[in-house]
Amino acid sequence: MQNDKKYFKTELHCHSKDASPCSTESAQSLVEIYQKAGYDTVVITNHYSHYVYDHYGCKNIGEYVDIFMRGVENMQSAAKGKLTVIFGMELRMKDTPNDYLCFGVTEEFLRNTPNIFDLTYHEFFNICEQKGWLFIQAHPFRKGILIVDPAYIHGMEVYNGHIGHQARNFIAKQWAEEYGLIQTSGTDLHYSYVPASGGILTKEKITSIEQLVKVLKSRDYQLLQSDKCR
């Protein structure tokens, strides 16, 4: 499945400086990086957390959602049809140091859920279950991350390409296989010097978050990864 003429490349984890203060890359820079690397679709998963909320000095959740959505809109505008850009998020609640990739969450839900950071991961998982969204633990075995009950996540990021963070991808892979979890891959790109290496290969181009959720649930895809990140 490595023939890019027959299969489509989708990134599942990246950040722009428009809404993730830890990133140095503009929307335009990300488009250039992923286009050069041969990707067809990028899921922009900027951080959505109480830390970022405080960083921007937001007075209410509406102000924060405006900033968060600006990151999506700027990326889509910069793409100009060269890439398909899909809205995702990397969520962190107050009760945990863990990060979760959420696929399917809507802007309307974010605006109507001002207490989102006060929810437990159990509670948010149940919301995702009810709505048909996916709740994937990002870099689950990075230092400082807590192991969670696999009954309350849909999957694990078994390949994380963030250089220098010791993701221990091989453990995540073993854990996901042991518990029958959905497996995902993402570059977790924050900086231009990190090569785009993560994501999935699919037979059809991913053009919407609904389609992505369906594909991930079907498990009919191949993981992209590099041996440089373990």
In DSSP terms, which residues pair with 9 in a beta bridge? 201
Determine how β-strand 199-202 pairs with β-strand 8-11: antiparallel
C-alpha–C-alpha distance, residues 91 and 50, integer Å: 9
What is residue 193's predicted lDDT score, i.e. its pLDDT?
83
C-alpha–C-alpha distance, residues 124 and 102, integer Å: 10
> Distance from CA of residue 155 to its chain's centroid?
12
Residue 94 per-residue DSSP state: T
C-alpha–C-alpha distance, residues 65 and 69, integer Å: 6
Angle at 21 between CA 19 and CA 27, to 5 degrees: 50
Domains of the chain: 8-224 (3.20.20.140)
> Which residue type sits at 25?
E
Angle at 196 between CA 191 and CA 198, to 5 degrees: 120
Give me the tens of pLDDT residue by residue for the chain, a chain 230 residues long: 444 458 999 999 999 999 999 999 999 999 999 999 999 999 999 999 999 999 999 999 999 999 999 999 999 999 998 899 999 999 999 989 999 999 999 999 999 999 999 999 999 999 999 999 999 999 999 999 999 999 999 999 999 998 777 789 999 999 999 999 999 999 999 998 888 999 999 999 999 999 999 999 999 999 998 766 56
Strands (DSSP E) contained in the chain are 8-11, 41-44, 47-49, 84-87, 89-92, 100-103, 134-137, 155-160, 182-186, 199-202, 222-224
Q: Which residue has the tokens 């929810």?
A: 119
What is residue 3's predicted lDDT score, i.e. its pLDDT?
46
Q: Which of 135, 156, 153 is nearest to 223 (CA)?
A: 156
